[in-house]
Structure 1
Amino acid sequence: MFFGNKILKVNTDGLDKLVKSCAIRVITAFDAYDIISAHPKKQIHIQAGNIKSNMQRNNELLIQGQIPSSIIQR
């Protein structure tokens, strides 16, 4: 996981538990595409395809919510 200018390792089993308990939301490239393409401003929703391809190329996910420090591996 990348946060600021740090890369953090996260236990994926812990993330799965947080997703199932609705504590966090994981947004994939396809989810981001759907969200951005639904935006009412043309200047924003026109970028949806570029954002999706960049996220796929970089194997990125967005996480909405707070991750407890017990899941972060140091």
Structure 2
Amino acid sequence: MTTISYIVGDQVNLRPGIYGQPRSGSFEITRLMPARDDNGEQQFRVRGPDGIERAVNRHEITGMKNRKDQSI
């Protein structure tokens, strides 16, 4: 199984949160965080449409909406 590598600035969708609450809108990856100690899963900081930043694990990201243009 191929995993997508995300970079700062990518716009992603997230799986429903606790108790199945939907997380609507796209979330921007703002920071790459160290992998978890217990299972090695990559972690990210994301900012939602509400402007709040939160930490998410790789399995919570369902797909990418847009990749930030890296050209200068």
Do these two structures clear the TM 0.5 threshold for a shared fold by scoring above it?
no
Question: TM-score with structure 1 length normalisation?
Answer: 0.25
Structure with larger Rg: 1
The structure richer in helix per residue is 1
Question: TM-score with structure 2 length normalisation?
Answer: 0.26
